[in-house]
């Protein structure tokens, strides 16, 4: 009987043990939650997040509880986090196995290798590239096709509205503004390759990829021996074709400049490229490329199918591709509600999905486009986490949805973020970036194994994006550290600590010389080495040079540019020391030229750095002259963006920048400078504050131009300039005659 006592007591013992374990787990979980809340609060209490509008929500997928929330129900601009909603609706309504189809048809059977009309009917495939189109042409050639008279492009699966809501807020030819179209190619953007001639004065070489009759290239670009190139590349509609204008100078010996610009007529772009590739493949095209509809009795010659939707969505979310998002929205419209697909009908499909499936009621958010571009959409962090929680429970869709998100430290737009934290490999998220908007939402598995969803949205911050991104990453790293021995507090401390300190100038000079040599090689094989060096470098001035070398090794890498902009500053510790080293080595100040290049592309952080430099140049005449020329050049290619930057700059810094901008305008001597047109548009803006600022800017700039011109004018003319009204001062002509466009 004595042996039976332990056996009979075993269930109670096991229950007590399990209860103790559960209580221990609960206590540990409570401690983890408290540590996470404290860590998040610490991040939010620091600038610049403490002065911004920030919404945060973190929830446990395992327990369903909201672990942390702050202003989680506030409707904020989510930027590209809108793509989470677009892609979820696409998976739900189209299915992960959905494929786009592009049909090639003829008006009659091929006879002696000839057809009168080759039709192309597209249904919105966003993945067709030049290479894929060439493969389609090969398939057509294998059908026996040898001669075509006309090529007719049927673009009617979508409507012909090329400007989604929000896109109209920005007058730009940049590739991320590419229009949607049922028949599209290369994300409706074109590659422009520019390289210098053999000697100063020679015309530069301008090449278009893919080349075709669709493009009319007008170039006055010349080769120069000057130390900095001054390129202005523009893409604009020209009837059924596209004009590419290239002006300015390119420095002899400089690496080729490569840029992508949007095109404005997707079906004709596709059609002319198809014609060129057919001819390249040996198929003659005798007639025209034109728009039209497929004849009712047309015969299918070849059917091209895209990759499955789950693979398309990886390109959408990992690379944050605006074009794919807008194509998807119109695809949803056409497939669910019938052609032609429109943006409005696509939004309705997403709204129905959110209301019927996810439980997010219509009218509680604002969705106008599929990409999140510009100031058009409003969602809350709570709504975003609700969507993420819903998708996590959908077994048929969850693997595909999760796989579309960037993996921290591994790929996508977060491949260079979270390095050295527990979030690497554990966090999958969608980024969002606009002017004064940063967002990050997704999934993360804590070190202890608990699964979380999170959404963080930051609006209206007044500092560089880099400091905001650092705060977002610190919060993501804190969630990933839950359940670990060091916990969220340590993760935040490490993420926010700037372990950089100036070393001796002699040592910095030696290391800068080395990294400059590496950067001049412009070799992508050096990227891994430079990434490691940038991550471990403690001297802030040297860190800028490493980052610039990284950027020069791959100018098309957004994250390399991000590293440079995060490292650069106009402070004495960085810019001041770089100027001294440049003087000692008899070179240009490292970092500045690349910042100017990025500013000329409209990068907001680069523009802010450029404006900061105006005050930091002090009394250095050489630096001021260079910066004056740079501001005039940048205002040529990014006039609206520069105006926005100046508006957000503190008055004292703005005045210094405007004075140098005026000097640059006087030196440029260009009465048709694009900045004046941008300023005039801003003066007539609906936004009263913007209009008022533009008018003030016009007055101040005119006055500064008169002051900049005065030393070079005869005494009598100079006196007249001082007595003339500031608003009547022309930057290029005598003060009494205003020749700026529009007055």
In this prediction, residues 186-197 reach a mean pLDDT of 95
| H or E stretch at 180 | none
Q: Which helix (H) or strand (E) holds 37?
A: helix 4-44
pLDDT in tens, 676-711: 888 898 888 888 888 899 999 999 998 988 888 876
pLDDT by residue (tens digit) across 472-516? Answer: 999 999 999 999 888 899 999 988 887 678 888 899 999 999 999
Residue 663 CB partners (closer than 8 Å, separation 6+): 624, 625, 628, 708
Q: What is the rounded average pLDDT of the residues 605-618?
A: 90
pLDDT of residue 544: 95
Range of 1-15, 23-37, 255-269, 719-733 with top mean pLDDT: 255-269
CB 197 within 8 A of CB 237: no
Cβ-Cβ contacts under 8 Å for 155 (sequence gap 6 or more): 122, 181, 182, 183, 266, 267, 291
In sequence order, which ranges of 404-557 are alpha helices (DSSP H)?
465-480, 487-496, 505-520, 527-536, 540-553
Q: What is the pLDDT of residue 16?
A: 57
Query: Residue 707: which of 680, 679, 735, 740 has the closest Cα?
Result: 735
d(CA 301, CA 316): 30
Q: What is the pLDDT of residue 740?
A: 28
Burial of 304 (0-12, 13-18, 19+ CB in 10 A): buried
pLDDT score of 737 more than 50: no
State yes or no: pLDDT of 19 exceeds 50.
yes
Beta bridge partners of 241: 238
Q: Which residues contact 486 (CB under 8 A, 6 or more apart)?
A: none
pLDDT > 90 fraction of the chain, expressed in percent and rounded: 68
pLDDT grade, residue 6 (50/70/90)? low
pLDDT at 285 over 80: yes
Query: What does the pLDDT look like over 429-449, one tens digit per residue?
Result: 999 999 889 999 999 999 999
Answer whether residue 155 shows pLDDT above 60: yes
* Statement: residue 718 has pLDDT above 60: no
**What 3-state DSSP class applies to 586?**
coil
Burial of 254 by CB count in 10 Å (0-12 exposed, 13-18 middle, 19+ buried)?
A: middle
CB contact at 8 A, 96 and 130 = no
Three-state DSSP state, 560: helix
Distance CA 28, CA 295 (A): 70
Sign for the pseudo-dihedral over CA of 430, 435, 438, 441: negative
Neighbours of 440 (CB within 10 A): 28
How many Cα atoms are found within 13 Å in the side-chain-facing hemisphere of 295? 14
What's the length of the chain?
A: 743
Question: Rounded CA gap, 583 and 623, in Å?
Answer: 11
Residue ranges per structural domain of the chain: 28-93+318-496, 96-161+269-310, 177-266, 505-670
The CATH class of the 96-161+269-310 domain is: alpha beta
Does the pLDDT at position 468 exceed 80? yes
pLDDT tens string 89-124: 999 999 999 999 999 999 999 999 999 999 999 999
The yes or no reply on domain 28-93+318-496 and CATH 3.40.50.720 is no
Whether 28-93+318-496 shares its CATH topology with 96-161+269-310 is answered: no
pLDDT of 11: 57
**pLDDT tens for each residue of 319-362:** 999 999 999 999 999 999 999 999 999 999 999 999 999 999 99
Q: Can you tell me whether residue 341 is helix, strand or coil?
A: strand
Q: Which of 680, 648, 672, 676 is nearest to 661 (CA)?
A: 676
Mean local confidence (pLDDT), 177-204: 95
φ and ψ at residue 258, rounded to 5 degrees: -130, 130
Higher pLDDT: 377 or 396? It is 377
Determine the pLDDT at residue 685: 82
pTM reported for the whole predicted model: 0.86
Question: Would you tell me the crossing angle of helices 527-536 and 558-567 to the nearest 10 degrees?
Answer: 30
Residue 25 above 70 pLDDT?
Answer: no
What integer pLDDT is reported at residue 5 of this predicted model?
47
Residue with the larger pLDDT of the pair 712 and 49: 49
pLDDT above 60 for 22: no
What are residue 158's DSSP bridge partners?
341
pLDDT at res. 728: 29
CB atoms within 10 A of CB 683: 17
Q: Are 418 and 471 in contact (CB under 8 A)?
A: no
What pLDDT is attached to residue 256?
Answer: 81
Question: What is the pLDDT, as a whole number, of residue 225?
Answer: 86
Residue 278 has pLDDT above 50, yes or no: yes
Nearest alpha-carbon partner for 620 in 669, 662, 656? 656
Report which of residues 311 and 713 the model is more confident about.
311
pLDDT higher than threshold 60 for residue 207: yes
Asked if the model's pLDDT at residue 731 lies above 70, the reply is no
Mean pLDDT, all residues of the chain: 89
- Note the pLDDT of residue 580: 92
For the chain, how long is the longest CA-to-CA vector?
A: 124
């Amino acid at each position: 009987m004595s042996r039976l006592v332990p056996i009979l007591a075993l269930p109670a013992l096991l229950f007590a043990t399990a209860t103790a374990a559960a209580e221990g787990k609960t206590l540990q979980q409570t401690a983890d939650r408290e540590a996470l809340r404290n860590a998040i609060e610490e991040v939010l209490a620091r600038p610049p997040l403490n002065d911004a509008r920030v919404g945060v929500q973190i929830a446990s997928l395992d327990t369903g509880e909201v672990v942390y929330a702050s202003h989680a129900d506030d409707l904020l601009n989510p930027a590209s986090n809108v793509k989470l909603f677009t892609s979820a609706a696409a998976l739900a309504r189209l299915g992960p196995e959905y494929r786009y189809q592009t049909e090639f048809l003829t008006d009659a059977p091929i006879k002696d290798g000839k057809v009168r009309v080759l039709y192309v009917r597209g249904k919105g495939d966003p993945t067709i590239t030049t290479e894929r189109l060439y493969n389609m042409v090969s398939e057509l050639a294998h059908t026996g096709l040898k001669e075509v008279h006309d090529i007719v492009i049927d673009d009617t699966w979508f409507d012909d509205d090329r400007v989604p809501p929000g896109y109209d807020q920005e007058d730009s030819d940049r590739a991320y503004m590419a229009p949607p179209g049922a028949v599209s190619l290369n994300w409706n953007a074109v590659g422009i390759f520019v390289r210098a001639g053999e000697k100063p004065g020679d015309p530069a070489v301008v090449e278009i990829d893919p080349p075709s009759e669709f493009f009319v290239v007008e170039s006055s670009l010349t080769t120069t021996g000057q130390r900095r190139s001054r390129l202005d590349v523009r893409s604009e509609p020209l009837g059924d074709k596209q004009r590419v204008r290239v002006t300015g100078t390119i420095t002899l010996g400089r690496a080729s400049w490569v840029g992508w610009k949007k095109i404005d007529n997707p079906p004709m772009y596709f059609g002319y490229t198809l014609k060129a590739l057919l001819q390249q493949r040996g198929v003659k095209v005798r007639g025209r490329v034109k728009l039209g509809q497929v004849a009712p009795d047309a015969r299918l010659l070849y059917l091209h199918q895209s990759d499955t939707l789950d693979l398309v969505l990886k390109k959408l979310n990992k690379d944050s591709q605006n074009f794919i998002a807008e194509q998807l929205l119109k695809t949803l419209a056409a497939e669910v509600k019938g052609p032609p697909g429109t943006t409005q009908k696509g939004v309705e499909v997403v709204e129905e999905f959110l209301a019927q499936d996810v439980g997010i009621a219509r009218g509680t958010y604002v969705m106008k486009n599929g990409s999140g571009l510009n100031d058009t959409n409003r969602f809350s962090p709570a709504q975003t986490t609700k969507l993420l929680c819903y998708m996590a429970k959908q077994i048929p869709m969850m693997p595909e949805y999760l796989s579309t998100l960037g993996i921290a430290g591994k790929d996508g737009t977060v491949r260079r973020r979270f390095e050295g934290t527990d979030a690497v490999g554990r966090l999958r998220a969608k980024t969002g970036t606009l002017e004064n908007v940063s967002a990050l939402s997704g999934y993360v598995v804590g070190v202890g194994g608990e699964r979380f969803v999170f959404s963080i949205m930051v609006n209206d911050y007044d500092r560089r994006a880099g400091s905001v991104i650092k705060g977002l990453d610190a919060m993501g790293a804190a969630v990933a550290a839950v359940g670990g021995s060091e916990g969220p507090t340590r993760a935040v401390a490490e993420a926010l600590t700037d372990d950089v300190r100036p070393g001796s100038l002699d040592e910095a000079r030696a290391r800068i010389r080395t990294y400059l040599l590496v950067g001049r090689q412009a070799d992508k094989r050096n990227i891994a080495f430079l990434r490691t060096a940038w991550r471990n470098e403690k001297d802030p001035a040297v860190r800028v040079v490493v980052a610039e070398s990284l950027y020069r090794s791959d100018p098309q890498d957004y994250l390399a540019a991000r590293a440079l902009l995060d490292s650069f500053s106009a402070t004495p510790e960085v810019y001041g020391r770089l100027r001294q080293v440049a003087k000692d080595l008899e070179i240009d100040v490292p970092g500045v030229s690349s910042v100017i290049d990025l500013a000329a592309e409209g990068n907001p952080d680069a523009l802010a750095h450029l404006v900061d430099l105006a005050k930091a140049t002090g009394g250095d005449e050489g630096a001021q002259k260079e910066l004056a020329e740079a501001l005039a050049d940048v205002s040529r290619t990014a006039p609206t963006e520069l105006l926005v930057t100046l508006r957000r700059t503190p008055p004292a810094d703005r005045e210094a920048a405007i004075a140098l901008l005026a000097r640059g305008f006087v030196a440029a001597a260009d009465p048709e400078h694009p900045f004046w047109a941008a300023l005039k548009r801003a003066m007539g803006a609906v936004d009263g504050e913007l209009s008022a600022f533009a008018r003030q800017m016009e007055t101040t700039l005119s006055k500064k131009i008169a002051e900049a011109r005065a030393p070079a004018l005869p005494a009598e003319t100079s006196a007249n300039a001082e007595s003339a009204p500031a608003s009547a001062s022309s930057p290029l002509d005598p003060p009494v005659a205003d020749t700026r466009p529009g007055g």
